[in-house]
């Protein structure tokens, strides 16, 4: 059983599914672009658990992904965290190794970056991506159209899957409204069927839960809709490991679980670039061993 099925089942069992739709006041998380050859942005935060807190609510409060919060806090119950315990908020990150322009979606970390180098800013959002078997493609594209209150029309493949699973025909279209899976806004990628869009189900942001499109909280997609112009370049990449040699003395590394094509987790691959970055320092490799075995998606400084 995959993580999404487990989480949905757990929520149903403890009667918390209804509160997934509680809305938090969120704004785009904005960072200043660092100086040349520096890639660290943000800072790690902690959240002290109050009675009634749960990971979905905390993720929405800090505008981070649900799985990112789980990975950063592997020993804490995401549904019933212990009051007064401290939750790590993964709000520090290394910028992906790619030109800082337009929209960049890094699939393993389930984040979307919107770079504004002329304003020395980058905005970062959690996103949901395609689930196993329906992976979001790695492409270079652009924003070709923007639609407010879009109509949702399932593809032929989606209708076929639905019929195979349920034995009945899927609805042909869903108009704008609370039942629309696209939410209130959608941005199309080139001439493809793939969209960056909102959602009518807040659970799934920061997870692999879609049929291939990029899902965002409605507040976040509205911000993109209002601020991202047509023809903006979009690059979807796969960088589970990000590294930075900061200020010629600090070695920082951030490791995310690699994307899997099945329900079985995929092992982290240590590339030659990672070997060159870490070097032959045995202490560094000992420090990295548990993180490679179970990635937490947190920025780690080697040597500390």
CA distances from 178 to 127, 150, 209 (A): 20, 12, 19
Closest C-alpha to 187, from 237, 137, 141? 141
Q: Is 213 a catalytic residue?
A: yes
- HSE-up (13 A, CA, CB side) for residue 260: 13
* Diameter of the chain measured on Cα atoms: 61
Find out whether 146 and 221 touch, Cβ atoms under 8 Å: no
| Annotated active-site residue in 47, 100, 166, 213 | 213
Choosing from 123, 166, 197, 256, which is the catalytic residue? 197
Q: What per-residue string of b and e applies to 113-126 under the rule 16 or more CB within 10 Å gives b?
A: bbbbeeeeebbbbb
Best CA proximity match to 155, nearest among 230, 210, 218, 233: 210
Q: Is 100 a catalytic residue?
A: no
> So which residues are the catalytic ones?
197, 213
């Amino acid at each position: 059983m995959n993580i999404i099925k487990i989480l949905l089942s757990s929520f149903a069992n403890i009667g918390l599914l209804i509160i997934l739709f509680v809305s938090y006041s969120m704004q785009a998380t904005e960072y200043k672009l660092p100086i040349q050859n520096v890639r660290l942005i943000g800072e790690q935060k902690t959240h002290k658990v109050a009675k009634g807190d749960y990971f979905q609510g905390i993720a929405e409060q800090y505008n981070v992904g649900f799985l990112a919060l789980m990975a950063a806090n592997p020993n804490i119950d995401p549904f019933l965290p212990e009051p007064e315990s401290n939750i790590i908020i993964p709000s520090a990150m290394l910028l992906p190794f790619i030109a800082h322009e337009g929209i960049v979606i890094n699939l393993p970390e389930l984040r979307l970056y919107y770079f504004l180098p002329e304003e020395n800013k980058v905005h970062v959002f959690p996103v949901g991506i395609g689930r196993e078997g329906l992976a979001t493609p790695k492409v270079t594209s652009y924003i070709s159209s923007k639609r407010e209150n879009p109509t949702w029309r399932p593809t032929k493949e989606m209708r076929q899957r639905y019929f195979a699973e349920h034995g009945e025909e899927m609805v042909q279209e869903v108009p704008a409204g609370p039942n629309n899976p696209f939410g209130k806004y959608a941005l199309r990628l080139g001439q493809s069927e793939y969209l960056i869009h909102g959602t009518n189900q807040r659970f799934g942001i920061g997870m692999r839960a879609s049929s291939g499109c990029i899902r965002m909280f409605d507040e976040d997609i509205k911000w993109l809709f209002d601020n991202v112009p047509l023809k903006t370049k979009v690059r979807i990449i796969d960088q589970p490991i990000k590294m930075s040699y900061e200020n010629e003395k600090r070695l920082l590394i951030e490791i995310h679980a690699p994307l899997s094509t099945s329900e079985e987790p995929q092992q982290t691959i240590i590339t030659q670039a990672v070997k060159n970055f870490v070097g032959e320092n045995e202490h560094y490799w000992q420090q990295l061993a548990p993180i490679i075995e179970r990635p937490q998606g947190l920025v780690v400084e080697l040597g500390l």
